Copies of this chain bind each other. A is one copy, B any other.
Amino acid sequence: MHILEANTRPMIAFTKHHPSRTDFFSRHTSNGACRKLAARQLIWAEGDLRNEVCFVRSGTVCFYKVLMDGRRVVTGFAYPGDMIGFGIGPHQRNAEAVQCCKLEPMTMANFQSAIASDNDLSDFVQAQSSRELCSSYEHLMVLTKMTASERLAHFLTGLSTRNRRLGYSPNSVLIPMRRVDIADYLGLTIETISRTFTTFKTHGLIGMEDPCVVFILNLERLAALARGACDEEGSVSVCRKIAA
């Protein structure tokens, strides 16, 4: 219990997701009972059987895979309002609580029958699968073709956009995950992440009071960077000029 509170990472701003988005899920679970997870706690491991799907009520979840030699890749994150765990076959990747989390579970059996009978739920699942596929392709683009600055800008504007969509300020972004997670997600090292944050700071793109809170001071330029906006003026160096 105590360890649950010992999490210094900020809860992400939109801890309480829009209530209407929870209804279609809760009507198939016992009574909306939540499981609490401490920060850094493993939710399931690669290869585990799919026993249940979960609705994320609060906190942030991180999905990752590890190579034999310890190299790690973060394939994505899940935030409040997301559903996690559906798919076919055993789990393909580890899931871990980035900060303390509340997850509302539903057994696989319930989920199967709920999908069949509840259009709201099956629509939601379809929509989320589609979004995930789409963003995984976009992520490939980020990893293969973008510079460090562009990648981090992409990451930050993503969080910002999510804020706006949920009715929060797009200009102040809470970063629930550690630098390692961001690095392994963006295919960079923690040092590069840190340095790029500093570059953004010194050039007035963002402000930071601690590593977890970012104020976006120039969303336009940040978004241009994230888009890889090298159209105007020609060359790649423009990207760096935008940051500089």
Interface on A for B, CB 8 Å cutoff?
65, 67-69, 71-73, 75, 87-89, 92-93, 126, 129-130, 133-134, 136-141, 143-145, 184, 186-187, 227-231
Q: How far is the CA of A230 from the CA of B93 in the complex (A)?
A: 22
Q: How far is the CA of A82 from the CA of B227 in the complex (A)?
A: 33
Q: How far is the CA of A144 from the CA of B146 in the complex (A)?
A: 12
Choice from B72, B130, B228 contacting A69 with Cβ under 8 Å: B228
Closest chain-B Cβ to A40's Cβ sits at a distance in Å of 21
Besides A69-B230, A143-B143, 13 more A-B contacts (Cβ < 8 Å) are A65-B137, A65-B138, A67-B141, A68-B228, A69-B228, A71-B145, A73-B137, A73-B140, A87-B133, A92-B134, A140-B143, A144-B186, A144-B187
Closest chain-B Cβ to A143's Cβ sits at a distance in Å of 5
- A-B residue pairs, 5 tightest by C-beta: A144-B187, A71-B145, A143-B143, A73-B141, A89-B130
Closest chain-B Cβ to A10's Cβ sits at a distance in Å of 27
Q: How far is the CA of A69 from the CA of B224 in the complex (A)?
A: 12
Number of copies: 2
Instruction: With a 10 A CB-CB cut-off, give which of A93, A129, A141, A184 has the most chain B CB atoms.
Output: A141
Also in contact, A130 and B67, with CB within 8 A (given A73-B144, A143-B143): no
Q: How far is the CA of A89 from the CA of B87 in the complex (A)?
A: 18
Give chain B residues whose Cβ lies under 8 Å from the Cβ of A229: 69
Let me know if A68 and B136 touch, CB within 8 A. no
Let me know if A75 and B137 touch, CB within 8 A. yes
Closest chain-B Cβ to A108's Cβ sits at a distance in Å of 15
Q: How far is the CA of A48 from the CA of B43 in the complex (A)?
A: 38
Choice from B72, B75, B133 contacting A92 with Cβ under 8 Å: B133
